[in-house]
């Protein structure tokens, strides 16, 4: 076993660390939690010992690799010493870190600081080891697009100064980088092995080549290297923006002059347009501060938190940042005319040669966000906190979909696809538009059915757009996705361009969240959506609606809760529901009488349960009876009704009848009324 690993295993048992092993003291007695959060699935894994555990894995990789291939003693020694010292700047107790900062070590650039700590701690520091620590990880950073290859020139100089042979340096660098990457995962090393070895070959042979940083192709290739998960459409958008010489110049300036830290981890959840805005602001501030490094670690740390033992995206912060970025125009950013919001702004902090980038929140916003994180789904106070967060940032619900449990929501939308398959029978023409496509299941279904040559989804929600773009890219789908407003389709499509327009469980959201004539829950919103469809449909084109309905009869019904505590849910619901007044007559401590439409409106939310409650009480699912639907459609445009049927959605009855008994006023058990309709109209 190599000496360093043996020492670590020994001190785990005995606790005492020899005085001459300062590297291990710093790694063990640390108060830091520095770690790339992209590399962990569970934040509980990130502890004060995370860096030490990573170093152990790199040393174990070294032991494994030298057992399978022959290396000289000094080659092994160089790699071992580099691995054990390279992460120390991420660690240390408060006294150590204060001392290092006073000495001018930039702890945010851990390879440079670790090299200085090594030099400061060893009586006779070795120049080759010092430079290996100093350049530690930079070959990997180069392959990720974060730094230029010539940042490794000190390694090349070792050969020029005849400190080491070209062949030996190459062997050391290959082994070192293999251990660094296998410390994260062996799969990662295999994935980038060819790129790493090619870069090492260029370094030892001084083949850096000439780079045209002002080339649009170079910038596009570099961005594709950093943001590998972004879709082709997003890079087309970047390409379009780079036609502006001012934007091209900003990107060129960043890539020529700076080392980027955690840029992929910090910005991975943002859209390309948002990334462009952030990098433009960074370029302006970096130039003013004359920095060398740009560090996005603070943004990365803000993008995650623990929920139910899992690492989850901090959707509260992400949506607020998106809203802030949307309020900034590219032109204002280029003119450095950035108006900060009262509750959020971007902050640049210059520390030594590093520019730290972060989004800051007001105390009020930060406390609300923290409360929502810890109290999610717990009680009425949490619900009120979510409402306050919405109000504080002026969110439209349809523009910023559910703060919490978002991916689960999209998966739920996908899971209802069996109920939506019937829609395929009514599609006509070559081009189909799905309004509010959710998780993309219906887009997939239409594409695979070959019912249309062109399939498009349109949504105003930025997070839905992002999820769909990721899905399309990952699954190589042909359907298109457009960010746009369903109330103004002619802004996005030409007349006669779309043959079929589908609203699948979407119209009730437009009805509930969009203000028309100063009020929400306005039937004029639905009329406007239909008018928007008629504007782009040709004669013979169709609108397919699948959504909630109200009962034509609206008879009185009796609900008896099997658990009398659920009466509290009803009481709270009647108080919080935004759509209209919901009333009931109390019969006993677990029984109420309600109008049929009020009963079913409540039961829809009751079905979803507590987790969806904050949003569901803001939505009215039933807003027309079937006959009112038909009357509205015929009023808005010349059309004929192809289909108008309604049904109780599968699962409602089975789920609800576990919790309630449902009677007519004669105390006869009766069926739940229909919940959902499918209406198909054709333009004439």
CATH no. for residue 454?
Answer: 3.40.50.150
Does residue 585 fall inside a structural domain?
no
Are 11 and 131 members of one domain?
yes
Kindly tell me if the per-residue pLDDT of 409 is higher than 50.
no
Q: Using pLDDT thresholds of 50, 70 and 90, give the confidence band for residue 145.
A: very high
Are 40 and 123 members of one domain?
yes
Which of 293, 328, 361 is where one domain is finished? 361
Burial of 363 per CB tally in 10 Å (0-12, 13-18, 19+): exposed
Kindly tell me if the per-residue pLDDT of 3 is higher than 80.
yes
Q: For strands 639-647 and 676-683, give the pairing.
A: antiparallel
> Rounded to whole angstroms, how far apart are CA atoms 584 and 591?
10
Q: ∠ CA(287), CA(292), CA(295), 5° rounding?
A: 95
Tell me what the mean pLDDT of segment 45-55 comes to: 76
Are 175 and 232 members of one domain?
no
Are 129 and 53 members of one domain?
yes
Choice between 500 and 380, residue whose per-residue pLDDT is larger: 500
* Cβ-proximal residues to 542 (8 Å cutoff; 6+ apart), any chain: 426, 427, 428, 429, 499, 500, 501, 642, 680, 681, 682, 683
Burial of 9 per CB tally in 10 Å (0-12, 13-18, 19+): exposed
Which of 548, 569, 600 is where one domain is finished? 548
pLDDT tens track for 465-482:
877 887 888 788 999 999
* Three-state secondary-structure class, residue 456: strand
Kindly tell me if the per-residue pLDDT of 426 is higher than 90.
yes
Are 245 and 325 members of one domain?
yes
What pLDDT was estimated at residue 253?
94
Query: Which of 276-290, 311-325, 405-419, 655-669: highest mean pLDDT?
Result: 655-669
What pLDDT was estimated at residue 402?
44
Are 198 and 232 members of one domain?
no
Count the Cβ atoms, other than its own, within 10 Å of residue 475: 9
Tell me what the mean pLDDT of segment 321-349 comes to: 89
What pLDDT was estimated at residue 408?
43
Does residue 74 fall inside a structural domain?
yes
> Rounded to whole angstroms, how far apart are CA atoms 446 and 423?
9
Does residue 608 fall inside a structural domain?
no
Kindly tell me if the per-residue pLDDT of 412 is higher than 50.
no
Tell me what the mean pLDDT of segment 487-499 comes to: 94
What percent of the chain clears pLDDT 90, i.e. is strictly above it? 60
* Cβ-proximal residues to 300 (8 Å cutoff; 6+ apart), any chain: 36, 37, 38, 262, 265, 266
Least trusted range by pLDDT, from 164-178, 500-514, 586-600, 603-617: 603-617
DSSP output for 608-630: H-GGGHHHHTT--S----HHHHH
Q: Are 510 and 487 in contact (CB under 8 A)?
A: yes
Strand spans (E) along 116-270 = 259-261
Residue 432: closest CA among 367, 485, 478, 365: 478
Kindly tell me if the per-residue pLDDT of 13 is higher than 70.
no
Q: Using pLDDT thresholds of 50, 70 and 90, give the confidence band for residue 420.
A: low
Tell me what the mean pLDDT of segment 10-26 comes to: 79
> Rounded to whole angstroms, how far apart are CA atoms 304 and 317?
9
Structure tokens that stand for 342 in this block = 């009262």
Alpha-carbon Rg for the chain, nearest whole angstrom, is: 30
Query: Which of 28-32, 104-108, 114-118, 187-191: highest mean pLDDT?
Result: 114-118
pTM of this structure? 0.68
Count the Cβ atoms, other than its own, within 10 Å of residue 44: 11
* Three-state secondary-structure class, residue 48: coil
Kindly tell me if the per-residue pLDDT of 20 is higher than 90.
no
Q: Are 658 and 563 in contact (CB under 8 A)?
A: no
Structure tokens that stand for 484 in this block = 């746009």
Tell me what the mean pLDDT of segment 58-72 comes to: 92
Sheet with 354-361: list strands edge to edge: 259-261, 293-295, 354-361, 344-351
Count the Cβ atoms, other than its own, within 10 Å of residue 193: 15
* Cβ-proximal residues to 99 (8 Å cutoff; 6+ apart), any chain: none
> Rounded to whole angstroms, how far apart are CA atoms 204 and 186?
25
What pLDDT was estimated at residue 318?
86
What pLDDT was estimated at residue 634?
94
pLDDT tens track for 619-636:
899 999 999 999 999 999
> Rounded to whole angstroms, how far apart are CA atoms 253 and 222?
13
Tell me what the mean pLDDT of segment 402-419 comes to: 44
Tell me what the mean pLDDT of segment 413-439 comes to: 78
> Rounded to whole angstroms, how far apart are CA atoms 161 and 602?
80
Count the Cβ atoms, other than its own, within 10 Å of residue 194: 10
Kindly tell me if the per-residue pLDDT of 338 is higher than 80.
yes
What pLDDT was estimated at residue 616?
81
What pLDDT was estimated at residue 370?
84
Count the Cβ atoms, other than its own, within 10 Å of residue 200: 21
Kindly tell me if the per-residue pLDDT of 378 is higher than 90.
no
Structure tokens that stand for 364 in this block = 């009020």
Are 157 and 12 members of one domain?
yes
Structure tokens that stand for 641 in this block = 């009704």
What pLDDT was estimated at residue 382?
66
Kindly tell me if the per-residue pLDDT of 373 is higher than 90.
no
What pLDDT was estimated at residue 611?
61
Are 232 and 188 members of one domain?
no
Kindly tell me if the per-residue pLDDT of 551 is higher than 90.
yes
What pLDDT was estimated at residue 367?
87
Count helices and strands in the chain by DSSP H and E runs: 32, 17
* Cβ-proximal residues to 102 (8 Å cutoff; 6+ apart), any chain: none
What pLDDT was estimated at residue 374?
72
pLDDT tens track for 68-119:
888 999 999 999 999 999 999 999 999 999 999 999 999 999 999 999 999 9
Q: How far is CA 88 from CA 30, 41, 311, 477, 523, in A?
A: 9, 24, 26, 45, 64
**What stretch of H or E contains 71?**
none
- DSSP helix, strand, coil percent of the chain (3-state; round to 5): 55, 15, 30
Are 199 and 221 members of one domain?
no
- Please identify which residue in the block is written with the tokens 């050969």: 159
Tell me what the mean pLDDT of segment 394-418 comes to: 45
What percent of the chain clears pLDDT 70, i.e. is strictly above it? 89
| Domain around 295 | 216-361
Does residue 488 fall inside a structural domain?
yes
Q: How far is CA 97 from CA 84, 113, 502, in A?
A: 18, 11, 60
pLDDT tens track for 582-620:
999 999 999 999 999 999 999 988 887 666 677 788 889
Are 92 and 181 members of one domain?
yes
What pLDDT was estimated at residue 42?
53
Tell me what the mean pLDDT of segment 394-412 comes to: 45
Number of domains making up the chain? 3
Which of 494, 518, 548 is where one domain is finished? 548
Does residue 119 fall inside a structural domain?
yes
Sheet with 591-595: list strands edge to edge: 585-588, 591-595, 556-561, 660-663
> Rounded to whole angstroms, how far apart are CA atoms 662 and 561?
9
Structure tokens that stand for 258 in this block = 């700076």
Choice between 429 and 231, residue whose per-residue pLDDT is larger: 429
Choice between 402 and 12, residue whose per-residue pLDDT is larger: 12
Query: What's the chain's average pLDDT?
Result: 87
* 108: phi then psi, degrees, rounded to nearest 5: -80, -15
Are 264 and 353 members of one domain?
yes
Are 326 and 184 members of one domain?
no
pLDDT tens track for 648-683:
887 788 788 889 999 999 999 998 988 899 999 999
Least trusted range by pLDDT, from 61-65, 418-422, 469-473: 418-422
Does residue 96 fall inside a structural domain?
yes
Tell me what the mean pLDDT of segment 24-48 comes to: 69
Does residue 423 fall inside a structural domain?
yes
């Amino acid at each position: 076993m190599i000496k360093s690993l043996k020492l670590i295993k020994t001190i785990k048992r005995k606790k005492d660390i020899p005085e001459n092993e300062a590297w291990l003291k710093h790694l063990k007695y640390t108060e830091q939690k520095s770690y790339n959060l992209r590399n962990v699935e569970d934040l509980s894994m990130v502890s004060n010992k995370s860096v030490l555990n990573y170093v152990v894995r790199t040393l174990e990789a070294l032991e494994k690799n030298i057992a399978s291939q022959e290396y000289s003693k000094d080659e092994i020694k160089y790699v071992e010493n580099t691995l054990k010292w390279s992460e120390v700047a991420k660690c240390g107790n408060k006294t150590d870190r204060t001392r290092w900062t006073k000495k001018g070590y930039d702890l945010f650039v851990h390879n440079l600081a670790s090299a200085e700590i090594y030099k400061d701690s060893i009586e006779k520091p070795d120049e080759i080891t010092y430079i290996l620590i100093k350049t530690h990880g930079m070959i990997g950073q180069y392959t990720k697009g974060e730094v230029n290859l010539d940042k490794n020139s000190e390694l090349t100089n070792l050969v020029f100064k005849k400190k080491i042979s070209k062949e030996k340096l190459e062997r050391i660098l290959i082994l070192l980088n293999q251990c660094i990457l296998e410390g994260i995962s062996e799969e990662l090393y295999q994935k980038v092995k060819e790129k790493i070895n090619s870069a090492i070959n260029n370094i030892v042979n001084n083949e850096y080549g000439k780079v045209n940083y002002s080339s649009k192709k170079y910038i596009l290739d570099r961005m594709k290297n950093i943001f590998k998960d972004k879709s082709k459409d997003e890079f087309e958008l970047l390409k379009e923006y780079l036609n502006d010489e001012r934007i091209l110049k900003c990107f060129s300036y960043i890539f020529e002059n700076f080392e980027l830290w955690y840029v992929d981890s910090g910005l991975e959840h943002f859209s390309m347009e948002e990334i462009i805005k952030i990098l433009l602001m960074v370029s302006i501030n970096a130039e003013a501060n004359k920095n060398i490094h740009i560090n996005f670690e603070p943004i990365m740390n803000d993008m995650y938190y623990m929920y139910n033992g899992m690492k989850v995206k901090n959707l509260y912060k992400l949506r607020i940042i998106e809203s802030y970025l949307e309020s900034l125009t590219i032109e204002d950013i280029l003119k450095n005319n950035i108006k900060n919001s009262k509750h959020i702004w971007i902050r640049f902090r210059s520390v030594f040669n590093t520019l730290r980038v972060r989004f800051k929140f007001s105390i009020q916003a930060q406390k609300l966000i923290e409360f929502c994180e810890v109290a999610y789904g717990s009680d009425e106070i949490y619900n009120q906190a979510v409402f306050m967060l919405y109000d504080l940032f002026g969110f439209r619900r349809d523009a910023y979909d559910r703060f919490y449990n978002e991916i689960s929501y999209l998966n739920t939308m996908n899971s209802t696809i069996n109920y939506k398959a019937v829609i395929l029978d009514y599609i006509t023409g070559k081009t189909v538009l799905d309004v509010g496509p959710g998780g993309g299941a219906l887009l997939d279904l239409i594409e695979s059915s070959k019912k249309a040559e062109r399939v498009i989804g349109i949504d105003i929600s930025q997070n839905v757009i992002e999820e769909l773009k990721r899905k399309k890219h990952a699954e190589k789908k042909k359907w298109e996705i457009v960010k746009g407003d369903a109330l103004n389709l002619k802004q996005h499509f030409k007349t006669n361009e779309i043959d079929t327009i589908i609203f699948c469980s979407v119209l009730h959201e437009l009805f509930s969240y969009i203000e028309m004539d100063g009020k929400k829950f306005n039937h004029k919103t639905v009329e406007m959506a239909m008018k928007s469809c008629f504007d782009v449909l040709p004669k013979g084109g169709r609108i397919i609606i699948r959504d909630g309905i109200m009962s034509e009869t609206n008879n009185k019904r009796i609900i008896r809760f099997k658990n009398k505590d659920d009466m509290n849910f009803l009481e709270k619901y009647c108080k919080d529901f935004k759509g209209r007044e919901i009333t009931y007559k109390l019969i006993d401590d677990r029984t109420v009488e309600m109008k049929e439409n009020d009963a079913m409106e409540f039961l829809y939310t009751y079905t979803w349960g507590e987790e969806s409650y904050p949003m569901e009480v803001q939505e009215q699912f039933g807003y027309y009876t079937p006959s009112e639907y038909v009357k509205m459609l015929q009023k808005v445009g010349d059309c004929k009704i192809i289909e108008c049927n309604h049904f109780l959605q599968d699962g409602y009855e089975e789920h609800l009848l576990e919790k309630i008994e449902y009677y007519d006023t004669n105390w006869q058990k009766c069926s739940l009324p229909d919940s959902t309709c499918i209406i198909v109209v054709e333009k004439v």
